[in-house]
Amino acid sequence: MKTKRPSRETLLRFYREMQRIRQFDLKAAELFTQGRMAGNIHTCVGQEATAVGACQALEPTDFITATHRGHGHCLAKGGQAAVMMAELFGKATGYCKGKGGSMHIADLGLGILGANGIVGAGIPIAAGSALASKIKGSREVTLAFFGDGASNEGVFHEALNMASAWRLPVIFLCENNKYGVSVCIDRVTNIADIADRATAYDIPGIVVDGNDVLAVFEAVSAAAARARAGEGPTLIEAKTYRHRGHYEGDPQIYKPADEAAGWKERDPIALLRAAVLALDPGAAAELEEIETSVRREIEDAVAFATESPYPEPGEVVRDVYAADNERSVVR
Amino acid sequence: MKTITYGQAISEALREELLRDQNVFILGEDMAVMGSVFGLTKGFLEEFGANRVIDTPISEAGFTAMAVGAALRGLRPVVEIMYVDFTPVCFDAIANQAAKMRYMTGGQASVPLVLRCPGGAGRRNAGQHSQSLEALFTHIPGLKVIAPSTPADMKGLLKTAIRDDDPVVCIEHKLLYATKGEVPDGDHLVPLGKADIKRPGRDITIVAWSRQVHSALEAAQTLAGEGIDAEVLDLRSLVPLDWETLAASIRKTHRAVIVHEAVKRGGYGGELAAQIGEDLFDSLDAPVKRVAGLNVVAPFSPALEDFIYPNPGDIAAAVRQTLGR
Ligand SMILES: Cc1ncc(C[n+]2csc(CCOP(=O)(O)OP(=O)(O)O)c2C)c(N)n1
């Protein structure tokens, strides 16, 4: 099924969403380096097109599972920058009341079933969400974001097999950014395209340019239509690149010197900007307006996170269990 | 009241909850067409359909994590792991996903999932099919753990577990499936976190769960003939723990022997002994004693297997020693 080319208005919307992710992550990296937040930050700078292209192809009632590199996934699915930033700061106003942090952001109301600190874990959880839709006879689609590294975990294969056998309404979206921490996918996988693994499960396996938001949007739209029609899962591999280190402070000694430059030219935000301007050379002012308004959103998010209170100490024993918490927590 | 087996109690609990709540479904290997390897779900496929009684591929890691995903969407999966020994294959789904979702999402997520795990030794199944791994689960905050010993407790606790909003691991002893007992009619429920005094006594408290409750009762019978009046406390639910009942019993008897089939080192008995030592030291007239499995891999040979887990004689001996007789 072929989707319509998005309108100028839609492209500008995509642009705004990609800017939100880029600016959020760059700001988070900056604050982390300044020692203003604890833990670890995995940015997705350079991968914004996959998050936005995929989530824009979904409906608000659809679900996603995100990864340890999940800020972009959560923002693209409608997450509020301020509430996310507060979570990164460990504040009571964060999505998880400061108990999850960067790697565990969830908003079940928005269909974000959670980022995950365990590589690959979101893949079967997404398939399970799709199983729930099948059992309920409802029409939601669930999309699992995961990396090339995660595609070598056993649960990737188990989930694809079951999703295929049961024709579950799920989309497996592999963001192949070439690396799992320091290890280039080429060194640990003897196939050029992870999408080829779909053959083993007799489902479509599609390779797309992960830096082209429209290509991702089209592929996910088609996969979602297929899922909703009861025809089962699709494996999509989006070829992209992680511009920054695996974590902030990663010296990236494992990347060839000239590699990043080539990918910088194919920066997804620059590509979309060029596409908008090709369509309408007069749109430059609008693009700048978007950038400015997103900058304000991110500044407000940081202010909100900074001003928010830390959780009360008593909060530490809450939500281990649904009820009779004291008894279960103490003994 | 009617008399049924422990296995039938599981079957009735599952069937009643499938009938009661459309959100309940069963997932696992050989659960549908075959009706489970222990015959617990025979006829369910015909009665409830393939959407609610699902035969999975042999993919414990995948389908247990899928149950977590389905639970996040409001369903109530009951997963069978054919033997508790296989749970290490899917421990990420249990320990990192199911157990932590509520907390790490700040209370947004609920994982109302039941993991049914046949466990225990005694069937000459050797090292990979004879373990008692409940201590692994009690160690993980966010999980609840039950280990019933009788058909009535099994049925009542399993039904409650299915209705519970947290992940519950239900340890079933394979040697108990055929044992019989009276089960109340109607919607019989046993709350989680309530221990049961299976035999009242004055002289010593024997704390046990699962199959060892029966060994403890046998030991108490023998000891009664010697003028020793042992109380047998069946924990039933390991997490949440019924500390009040346990503490009241020890304050009455001043002595405790803890019995479990799991290997002694790192077992839940050590945790209980520590809690008793910390909080009830002044009530104790003797050190708390543990009677537990040997720290060995379950051997195959019948001549060897019978040595590894406690028998009524071991329990009686431990009681006599604690009482200085
Ligand atoms: C099961 C598991 N193994 C290892 C890790 C440590 N780890 C965190 S991220 C990562 C790399 C993941 O690579 P990939 O899936 O390609 O995602 P990317 O970081 O490239 O987005 C590793 C090994 C983990 N969190 N979980």
Q: Does B92 touch chain A (CB under 8 A)?
A: yes
For residues A327 and A131, which has the higher predicted lDDT (pLDDT)?
A131
A–B interface: beta-carbon pairs under 8 A: 163
pLDDT at A2 over 60: no
Please give the pLDDT value at position A327. 76
Query: What is the A258 CA–ligand 1 centroid distance (Å)?
Result: 24
Please give the pLDDT value at position A331. 87
pLDDT at A330 over 90: no
Chain B residues whose CB is inside 8 A of the A158 CB are 57, 59, 61-63
Q: Which residues contact B303 (CB under 8 A, 6 or more apart)?
A: none
Q: Which residues contact B169 (CB under 8 A, 6 or more apart)?
A: B94, B114, B115, B117, B134, B137, B143, B144, B145, B146
Q: For residues B211 and B122, what is the distance between their CA atoms, to the nearest angstrom?
A: 10
Please give the pLDDT value at position A3. 52
pLDDT at A267 over 70: yes
> What is the reported pTM?
0.95
Beta bridge partners of B77: B25
> Does ligand 1 lie within 6 Å of residue A245's CB atom?
no
Chain B residues whose CB is inside 8 A of the A155 CB are 61-62, 65, 92
Q: For residues A50 and A58, what is the distance between their CA atoms, to the nearest angstrom?
A: 13
What is the value of ipTM here, to two decimals?
A: 0.92
B60 carries an active-site annotation: yes
Residues B129, B173, B188, B214: which is the catalytic one? B129
Q: Which residues contact B225 (CB under 8 A, 6 or more apart)?
A: none
Banded model confidence at residue A1, pLDDT cuts 50, 70, 90? very low
The residue whose CA has the least distance to atom 5 of ligand 1 is A119
The residue whose CA has the least distance to atom 8 of ligand 1 is A119
Work out whether strand B204-208 and strand B256-263 pair parallel, antiparallel, or are unpaired. Answer: parallel
| Closest residue to B240, CB basis, from A100, A117, A327 | A327
Please give the pLDDT value at position A221. 98
Chain A residues whose CB is inside 8 A of the B63 CB are 124, 158, 162
Long-range Cβ pairs for the range B17-24 (8 Å, 24+): B17/B76, B17/B78, B17/B159, B17/B162, B17/B163, B18/B44, B18/B47, B18/B48, B18/B52, B18/B53, B21/B76, B21/B162, B21/B163, B23/B74, B23/B75, B23/B76, B24/B52, B24/B75, B24/B76, B24/B77, B24/B78, B24/B162
B16 carries an active-site annotation: no
pLDDT at A193 over 60: yes
A327: closest CA among B141, B103, B193, B251?
A: B193
Q: What is the pLDDT of residues A196-255, one digit of tens each?
A: 999 999 999 999 999 999 999 999 999 999 999 999 999 999 999 999 999 999 999 999
Residues B12, B16, B29, B60: which is the catalytic one? B60
> Does ligand 1 lie within 6 Å of residue A117's CB atom?
yes
Spans of chain B below 50 pLDDT: none
Q: Which atom number of ligand 1 is nearest to the Cα of residue A42?
A: 19
Distance set, CA B212 to CA B120, B149, B175 (Å): 10, 8, 11
Inter-chain CB proximity B75 and A107 less than 8 Å: no
Inter-chain CB proximity B109 and A133 less than 8 Å: no
Chain B residues whose CB is inside 8 A of the A91 CB are none
Banded model confidence at residue A323, pLDDT cuts 50, 70, 90? confident
